[in-house]
Amino acid sequence: MGLFAAVQAVLLPAMAQDFPVRPVRVVVPYSAGGPVDMMARAVSKYMANVSGQPFTVENRGGAGGTIGTALVARSTPDGYTVVFNGTLAHTLGPMLRPKSAGYTLSEMSAVGVFSSSSNFLVVAPSLQVKSVKELIARAKAEDGKLAFSSAGPASNPHLGAELFKSLAGVNMEHIAYKGVSDTVPDLVSGRVPVAFASPTLALPLIKDNRLVALATTGEKRMKGWEQLPTMAEAGVPGYVFESTYIMAAPAKTPANIMARLNTWLQQALDDPETRAALDKLGLESVRNSTDQADQLVLAELRRWENIVKRLELKLE
């Protein structure tokens, strides 16, 4: 063991007793104003109040979240640098960018997977499809000609559609855009008439009758949209595609610091102000220990790695 590692082994457990005694750096690996940023700020505000120390949010976007996550992975494992991210982006980043991600999953540990959201399978009204089974029949009849949109290769909408194709046994054309908002004109016009969309994107368009919702993608029916079946109920057994969100820290962060952060994270989910911020984003609370959260990360990896390999997806 090197001198630095030996000093860390002695000092970190001792420092953990009084954690935190100085501000905590909260890295959001995306630009300000997005859903991950909003979640991080809500949770950080609660943690600052309960701990008596600032939890300062810093936006370090780029490369699908890997730049900010790598920064955290390389930081001292003392609990004073953490990251918020989508679980899927956090998990698949090293696989999709093996040369440039700057971190591996083994270099990170989950504080907690704290929220989740179903997505919507939506179609343009002009497609005149009213159910998932009708969509499957249409896709099989057109065999590769029916198109779906995404915010780019390996984005959540892309992977949600690839899971649908795999489980439903259909072939559809992928039309990738530069971002989620860029998909809207062609989606609602029917030029690219199918998408797996987040509540943030889909709900206003569904309510204005500019899109038709066929199903939600979670394990159970979405709160407030119980009239819509899940994908599994609608004819695609085994389909579950939920967007979940994670708070993580460098591996080797002392267990008692991780436990303290996890406790505050769980308490934040009961805080009315934090809860209101998550509700605004269409998110439901998820509760787990640090060990359980790490297992959820591994389960996410197992769920998607075969699809990523089959598609030969690489983002560098």
Of 30, 3, 6, 12, whose CA–CA distance to 79 is shortest? 12
* Mean pLDDT (10-residue bins), the chain, 316 residues: 49 68 96 90 98 97 93 98 96 94 97 95 98 98 96 89 95 91 94 94 95 96 94 96 95 97 97 93 92 96 88 85
Please tell me the predicted confidence (pLDDT) of residue 4: 46
Residue 228, in any domain of the structure: no
Distance CA 165, CA 150 (A): 14
Same domain, 69 and 131: no
Same domain, 33 and 97: yes
| Domain at 136, CATH number | 3.40.190.10
Determine the pLDDT at residue 9.
52
Q: Is residue 201 part of a domain?
A: yes
Residue 126 lies in a domain: yes
302 CB burial (10 A radius; 0-12, 13-18, 19+): exposed
Is residue 102 domain-shared with residue 26, that is, in the same domain?
A: yes
Give me the number of domains the chain comprises.
2
CA distance 312 to 278: 34
Q: How far apart are alpha carbons 215 and 118 in whole angstroms?
A: 10
**Co-location of 108 and 252 in the same domain:** yes
Whether 207 and 178 share a structural domain:
yes
Are 7 and 112 found together in one domain? yes
Task: Please give the pLDDT value at position 153.
Answer: 87
Domain identity same for 17 and 111: yes
Domain span including residue 35: 3-116+243-310
At 1 the pLDDT is: 47
- Domain boundary residue among 216, 232, 251? 216
Answer yes or no: is 257 within a domain.
Answer: yes
DSSP string, 223-269: TT-TTSPBTTTTT-TT---EEEEEEEEETT--HHHHHHHHHHHHHHT
Domain shared by 100 and 168, yes or no: no
72 and 149 within one domain:
no
Domain with residue 296: its CATH number is: 3.40.190.150
Is 112 in the same domain as 124? no
Beta bridge partners of 243: 117
Residue 54 and residue 191 share a domain = no
Looking at the fold, whether 74 and 158 belong to one and the same domain comes out as no
pTM of the predicted protein model: 0.85
Residues 6+ apart with CB under 8 A from 128: none
Q: Which residue pairs from 16-20 have beta carbons closer than 8 angstroms and sit at least 24 positions apart in sequence? A: 16/78, 16/79, 16/254, 16/256, 16/257, 16/260, 17/256, 19/78, 19/79, 19/256, 19/257, 19/260, 20/51, 20/53, 20/79, 20/80
